[in-house]
Amino acid sequence: MERTLILLKPDAVQRGLVGQVLSRFEAKGLKIVAMKLMKITPELAAKHYEAHREKKFYPGLVKFMTSSPVVALALEGIDAIKVCRNLMGATFGADAAPGTIRGDFGISRSYNLVHGSDSPDAAAKELKLFFPEGIVDYGYAAHDWIYDPVEELKKQ
């Protein structure tokens, strides 16, 4: 199982899309292991986006991400990062395929509704930033109906 961070950005929260976006991740079979509504501080934004600090869009990005609450999610599943990024769609809404979150709900080049970790290393770092208290570990009965049991995978 892999874990990833998903942020439902201020535009998703302000447009009332949290439930619709969250339901797509759940319907796909991803397990929620942490979730909170929070306001990102400028300090947290600076840590999270430090790789972009020298880029011209950085000040606007920090201003946007600190402008309103976000919903932070830790999701778990097989290939969770790849699955989430496919569900999210291309970065810019106008380029995103119909059926993806950004393709169905976004059009802007600046407001793109969701953030998702892009690698296991990034996910580990981001999850620590947004969930320093840790995640909730629990049995998820739906996995028996989403994934083949290990024994079945070994037989194939």
Give the model's pLDDT for residue 151. 53
Give the model's pLDDT for residue 109. 85
pLDDT at residue 113 tops 90: yes
Domains of the chain in start order, with CATH, are 2-155 (3.30.70.141)
Between the alpha carbon of residue 38 and those of residues 101, 107, 117, the distances in Å are 21, 25, 18
Exposed, middle or buried by CB within 10 Å (0-12, 13-18, 19+), for 30?
A: buried
Q: In the beta sheet, which residues pair with residue 28?
A: none
* Catalytic residue list contains 52: no
What is the pTM assigned to this prediction?
0.92
Catalytic residue among 48, 52, 115, 143: 115
Give the model's pLDDT for residue 92. 93
